[in-house]
Amino acid sequence: MIENYYEYIIALTFILLAVIFIVNYCLSQYRKNLISFIQLNSNITLLATKDKIISINKVGLDFFGYGSLKELNDEHSSISDFFIESNGCINKHTYGKNWLAKLSSSPRDHFTVNIRGEVDNISQFFHIKVSKMRHNYIYLIGLNNISNLVREKEAIRTIADHDALTHIYNRVKFNSMFSEIIDSSLRHNEDFSIILFDIDHFKNVNDTYGHNVGDKVLVELVSLAKIGLRERDVFARWGGEEFVILSQRTNLKQAEQLANRLRKDIEAYSFEVVKKLTCSFGVSQYQVGNSKNELFQRVDEALYEAKDRGRNQVITK
């Protein structure tokens, strides 16, 4: 009876050892296959815990500017160290030390991060996907470079928002910003004013020199006007030879002074082909309760009054 018991224990021990061996072998093969997958992946791919980078492919090492995993780990314990603060992107502070767990459990398919490569020092955008492995709180992290897509979207947005000739804001973009600025001004109890101006006798320029020269004049005029504007001034092409400036934190008197400076600068400037030009200006300050149409009707009347009085002057209303 005792002999059978010992034989049973010995047999059971051998079975357990065999199971442990098989499990370890399978895990070893799994790790080898996983590391091979990481190394062969064309995107930046790595394995990490919240405190350590376990494995990273050559694509990742090259991008971050390291020759080996050891060199990387000597300076960084998390890939989030490389995340840059950027609009629409998560950074190392967004979710803190538990960012891997947060991203892996999120219903979102991916997040966006902005990372600066150590080699070329160029900021790149990535979709980051984090998947939790089944053991030891290890995470598989994939970074798919979407920089070209982001830049294409930015280029499309720029084209949609800007005038194709002068590269300042177009009327559509100006209108979309106008409501935001009204809301902001009311919240902070700040003044803002509108300056509307156009080129005097611009039709004569096109008739005399042709539309190509007319276009060149518009580009020169915009470049000249931008020099005299402040960062908070929103400058847009309203249509044809007509331009609008939304001057934030500016009352009527200050806007009139700005318009007069621009008028004098334009009058004194020597344009490449036509040499001398003047502009007429209408100026009006937003009053609480004004609709956009009421404000623009007022500034439009001021501009036409400036023209009726002989042009090359500033009229306020």
Q: Mean pLDDT across the stretch 144-160? A: 84
> What's residue 290's pLDDT?
86
Q: Mean pLDDT across the stretch 172-192? A: 87
Rounded-to-integer distance, Cα 202 and Cα 274, Å? 11
Q: Mean pLDDT across the stretch 106-115? A: 88
Joined tokens for residue 52: 């350590």
Q: Assign domain 42-151 to its CATH superfamily.
A: PAS domain (3.30.450.20)
| Residue the block writes with tokens 């400058």 | 235
Q: Mean pLDDT across the stretch 232-259? A: 94
> What's residue 286's pLDDT?
92
> What's residue 147's pLDDT?
87
**8-64, pLDDT tens digit by residue?**
565 566 556 555 555 454 445 455 555 554 555 568 888 888 889 988 888 888 888
Model confidence at 219, pLDDT cuts 50, 70, 90, reads very high
Using DSSP's 3-state secondary structure scheme, residue 286 falls into coil
Model confidence at 123, pLDDT cuts 50, 70, 90, reads confident
Q: Could you tell me the residue ranges of all domains in the chain?
A: 1-40, 42-151, 162-316
Q: Mean pLDDT across the stretch 182-203? A: 91
Written as one letter, the residue type at 27 is: L
* Of 75, 241, 301, 305, catalytic: 241
Cβ contacts of residue 175 below 8 Å, gap of 6+? 292
Q: Mean pLDDT across the stretch 232-255? A: 94
Rounded-to-integer distance, Cα 312 and Cα 249, Å? 26
Joined tokens for residue 81: 């160290």
> What's residue 25's pLDDT?
45
* C-alpha distances in Å from residue 173, one per residue of 139, 151, 160: 43, 19, 8
> What's residue 285's pLDDT?
95
Rounded-to-integer distance, Cα 113 and Cα 119, Å? 18
- CATH number at 162-316: 3.30.70.270
Cβ contacts of residue 250 below 8 Å, gap of 6+? 191, 192, 193, 258
Of the chain, the percentage scoring pLDDT greater than 70 comes to: 85
> What's residue 92's pLDDT?
86
Question: Taking Cα atoms as reference points, which of 95, 112, 107, 183 lies closest to residue 153?
Answer: 112
pTM, to two decimals = 0.63
DSSP E strand stretches across 57-169: 83-84, 111-116, 123-132, 139-145
Least confident range from 30-34, 72-76, 205-209, 275-279: namely: 30-34
Looking at per-residue confidence, does 200 or 108 come out higher?
200
Instruction: Give the chain's mean pLDDT.
Output: 86
Q: Mean pLDDT across the stretch 254-281? A: 96
149 pLDDT more than 70? yes
Identify whether 256 is a catalytic site residue: no
> What's residue 281's pLDDT?
98
| Residue the block writes with tokens 């982001």 | 150
> What's residue 59's pLDDT?
86
Looking at per-residue confidence, does 312 or 107 come out higher?
312
Please report, to the nearest 10 degrees, the dihedral formed by the alpha carbons of residues 97, 100, 106, 111 taken in order.
100
> What's residue 4's pLDDT?
62
Model confidence at 262, pLDDT cuts 50, 70, 90, reads very high
> What's residue 26's pLDDT?
47
136 pLDDT more than 70? no
